[in-house]
Chains A and B, each alone.
Chain A
């Protein structure tokens, strides 16, 4: 039986800009069909869950307030979470960067002589590129979520935060299993493919020295880690091996246990249109001395990786309210057409467009803030009311104009002197009546004859019709009607 190659990495995509990657994706009809179909299904199921708009509004208001309260009280809640986890026997670690988190996890595993870990689904572990790091240190990491298992076999990265292998057809999975799993014949029968994954991974669960998981909500009041899933791999990863390491972003903490039900309801209904997932797991410590199973040790790694910087700006802080349901990507007209890989980021779609540039800096990922038509669908469906379009506009502005007080990494990275001069000229023209009259007359005469291929105009006209100048200006028309206020 073949285990997936734990050190598998994905080759970097061939294009540096989102626009170029999007063009490649748009040309792939099969990819577009798969995403269209999947997103349509997810949107329909979510809509059915929130058919009662009054109930949706009050649940959403509750969820939004819970997340805002948690963020306002973040430092004290983290300390409370840490204290209660310790009381429960969970060891708590703090990491400022991805590298620190990787190092801490590797340290824990090495101290316990761990050779292989089995993983439940964790986006934070993707964010810190944990599998690659552990592979370099001789520790194998096996993904056990079916979707993650498929993409690990294919040496790819997730294209959706909830359904990581949404870009694969059952034919793709059938060929992959046939090629990578010993004795597996080609079959498109999803039940058989699923049973194969169960058989292969059951062995891995039994043999793993440690389990790793993410955290959906961490409850400060009781020191409890909540894990939400359908497959049971999260439960297995956190129960069967003798050691459990959980990793979470510092923003995932909530005040009290009673905050969990409304957030849980928002999460599962927004994500997959389910009233609840099959399993909701509340972990509050390692195995007690008289218990028969459960890990002997539980470690919790709290990751910052730019979050405390984002927290420092009251508007951008909204980014951290996210509960990672993926509804924004399911409803995004851009994501639906280009799929998750075009973003070349761990978090794709609208939430990724505001999160990635803030974590990686506007210099590296600033163009993601432009991967949007600002249609507003993401903000409308967000279960905790994150104003994603407003934040996109804010980041676009920050990318071109560094404000001295800005805390955004790489602010001003896309600043253009030419653009600056154009705006200055524009302002001067509008403030100088004589020049304004001259300029509008000139444009009326020759504007429509300017070729669409002129520099800068070309960027606009490449995908749009050239604007037409009206033969008569608004001023002329107003004068005809008897307005004389000059």
Chain B
């Protein structure tokens, strides 16, 4: 194995370096005033549902929205992150409502696998913000809010702070200094899971969530 390493590097070093071009200037931007609008429009175009809520009221609004679909039992238990502020807010607000039982993702996946894979209908997560240019959510999973929450349940509900919208991915990377310390897994999500592999026909929910609901928190 080390032989392969040194042989490959030696071959690469034995050749001329070649041209090292400077990076030509390239910038795109979405003006601050247009960000929220663009962000919502693109997400909706990608088949996501976007709702706006006051930051104190979203758990109630979410319950109303879910109930409005009818057949509340069909949604199934809702996965949440009890270690996060929004997770606690949800648990508190939903303590008395019987329609959507909450399941806490508070232990290693190995102990919760069956529930995660088959037993939950939705999950609520926070985000690190959004990107207006592409209509994307930035997720930065943590110990308190693990990776699979935004992936396994058929419905993913994501909270975005309207004040945390960046114009572009580059802007987000610079503003939050991503290069200084990447998490185990950082993510951009720009709609529900989809495929067009069969005759270029769009179909949703092939592996990840079939539906994405984005709640924009606007205080």
B-contacting residues of A (Cβ < 8 Å)? 37-38, 41, 55, 58-59, 61-62, 65-66, 68-69, 71-75, 78-79, 88, 93-96, 100, 104, 144-147, 150, 163-165, 168-170, 173, 190-191, 193-195, 197-198, 201-202, 205-206, 221-224, 230-233, 235-236, 239-240, 250, 256-258, 260-262, 264, 272, 275-288, 290-294, 302, 304, 308-309, 311-314, 317
Are A58 and B193 in contact (CB-based, < 8 A)?
no
Could you write out 21 A-B pairs with CB less than 8 Å apart? A62-B23, A62-B25, A79-B9, A164-B197, A165-B197, A222-B178, A231-B193, A231-B194, A231-B195, A231-B206, A235-B208, A236-B208, A239-B148, A256-B179, A261-B168, A261-B173, A279-B193, A288-B184, A290-B143, A292-B106, A293-B148
Are A72 and B195 in contact (CB-based, < 8 A)?
no
Report the Cα distance A54→B26, complex, angstroms.
11
Are A294 and B184 in contact (CB-based, < 8 A)?
yes
Report the Cα distance A256→B23, complex, angstroms.
12
B15 CB contacts on chain A under 8 angstroms: 311-314
**Interface contact tally, CB-CB below 8 A:** 245
- Centre residue among A62, A150, A256, A257 by max chain B CB count within 10 A: A257
- A265 CB to nearest B CB, Å: 8
User: Contacts A233-B207, A275-B135 known; A284 to B183 CB distance under 8 Å?
Assistant: yes
Tier of interface size on chain B: 35 or more
Flag whether B71 is at the interface (Cβ < 8 A): no
Report the Cα distance A194→B204, complex, angstroms.
8
Report the Cα distance A195→B194, complex, angstroms.
11
- B47 CB to nearest A CB, Å: 9
A317 CB contacts on chain B under 8 angstroms: 18
- Centre residue among A163, A170, A278 by max chain B CB count within 10 A: A278
A235 CB contacts on chain B under 8 angstroms: 147, 151, 187, 207-208
Report the Cα distance A41→B188, complex, angstroms.
26
Are A282 and B113 in contact (CB-based, < 8 A)?
no
Flag whether B85 is at the interface (Cβ < 8 A): no
Flag whether B108 is at the interface (Cβ < 8 A): yes
B186 CB contacts on chain A under 8 angstroms: 282, 284
Please provide the 9 A-B residue pairs with the shortest distance between their CB atoms, ordered closest to farther.
Answer: A232-B208, A147-B197, A62-B26, A194-B203, A232-B207, A284-B182, A293-B109, A280-B188, A94-B5
Flag whether B175 is at the interface (Cβ < 8 A): no
Nearest A-chain residue to B24, judged by Cβ = A61
A275 CB contacts on chain B under 8 angstroms: 42, 133-135, 190
A261 CB contacts on chain B under 8 angstroms: 168-170, 173
Are A73 and B20 in contact (CB-based, < 8 A)?
yes
Nearest A-chain residue to B46, judged by Cβ = A278
- B181 CB to nearest A CB, Å: 8
